[in-house]
Copies of this chain bind each other. A is one copy, B any other.
Amino acid sequence: MSSIFGNKIRVSIFGQSHGEKIGCVLDGLPAGEAVDLVALRQFLSRRAPGQAGTTARRETDEPHIVSGLLNGFTCGAPLCVLMDNADARPADYDALKDTPRPGHADYPAHVKYRGFEDIRGGGHFSGRLTAPFCAAGGILMQLLERRGVFIGAHLLSAGGVRDRALDPLFTDRETLLSLRLGFPVLDKAREAQMRALLEETRLEGDSVGGVVECAAIGLPAGLGEPMFGGIENRVAQAVFAIPAVKGLEFGEGFAASVLKGSENNDGYTARDGRPSLLSNHAGGVLGGLSDGAPLLFRAAFKPTPSIRRPQPSVSLSRMEEKTISVQGRHDPCVALRAVPCVEAAVALALADFLL
């Protein structure tokens, strides 16, 4: 199961941060689906480094589709997307091989792979792998949009600076689409404040955490499977694949734990000949099934673990304490570039139910 997700539509992701190529294979795609490469590139550019407030690593992230596509349409064969690792700088990591970086998978990966792991940039555990993750998700989002399902996310908070939350019952596609342009906040007034915090944090050699809020609209009621196959289960399995995610909550989420049933239950009214929800504390999911309201959830991101500030670690070879300062090019807040990753994760989860 490691790097493969899905039942009907299976996504297999491969590559390491500083390996030759990274990519993904989508197996089970229906034939006859247009893949808009311009839109895919735009989607990937939202994740790409080089934006304000992100790492200085340069990668074009150009998606190169080498199978599964014929004259712009899927042909039923597995679709493989390749991307080059152009700006790999393996030398940056040589010194770190003996000293696990706090907050990274270095140490458990060293135990698991018995020293054979690719430590360079975190190898397969790197945030770099969210590029093919987003390529897969971006393609699936195009298929979902053609079926009326739109996914959008924004940076609800970064280091404590908070954006406005989405209206739980909103169904306005324009709201979602507007988030795709520029800095991903609803309240554009917050952009400057967040940017300033990120820049300040970067200069301190530190990092901050954040929260991404994500919604999907256009889902018919009754999607999902009971128990382990619910929308929440599937979204969770996909979202926790994004590095640095440490929490996930649907609708009221943790806040529901201090509500009463009479406050938290979403009542029904009759509208257009069918039941319609009066509120959306459930985040659009009841018993694992979509209830007709927007799917709404938040993912918590820990601060980027790579920081210049000195931290306590150990030398694995000499098994003695050693201070480490992680050099290199790092995002002060991973949550910022993770916004499209969260959208991609939802696309992976929903594709199995909708295609």
The answer to whether B108 and A221 have CB atoms under 8 Å apart is yes
Q: Are B273 and A319 in contact (CB under 8 A)?
A: yes
Say yes or no: A113-B32 contact (C-beta < 8 A), given A12-B12, A302-B252: yes
In the complex, A342 has a CB within 8 A of chain B:
no
Residues of B within 8 A of A282 (CB): 103, 246, 302
Residues on the B chain within 8 Å of A113, using CB: 31-32, 75-76
Chain B's nearest CB lies how many Å from the CB of A210? 5
Q: Is A170 an interface residue (CB 8 A)?
A: no
Number of interface residues of A (CB under 8 A): 146
Q: Copy number of this protein in the oligomer?
A: 4
The answer to whether the Cβ of A227 comes within 8 Å of any Cβ in the partner chain is yes
A294 CB to closest chain B CB, in angstroms?
A: 14
Is A243 part of the contact surface with B, judged by Cβ < 8 Å? yes
Interface residues as binary, A258-299 with B (CB distance below 8 Å gives 1, 0 otherwise)? 111111111111100111001001110011111110000010
Annotate A124-156 by CB proximity to B: 1 below 8 A, 0 otherwise.
Answer: 110001000000000000000000000000000
Q: In the complex the two chains form, is A257's CB within 8 Å of B301's CB?
A: yes
Best-surrounded residue of A104, A312, A320 (most CB of chain B within 10 A): A312
Extra 18 A-B pairs, beta carbons < 8 Å, given A108-B222, A246-B251: A1-B229, A2-B229, A12-B12, A14-B27, A14-B77, A15-B67, A19-B67, A23-B80, A28-B225, A77-B118, A78-B124, A107-B291, A129-B227, A157-B257, A228-B237, A247-B253, A264-B303, A275-B316
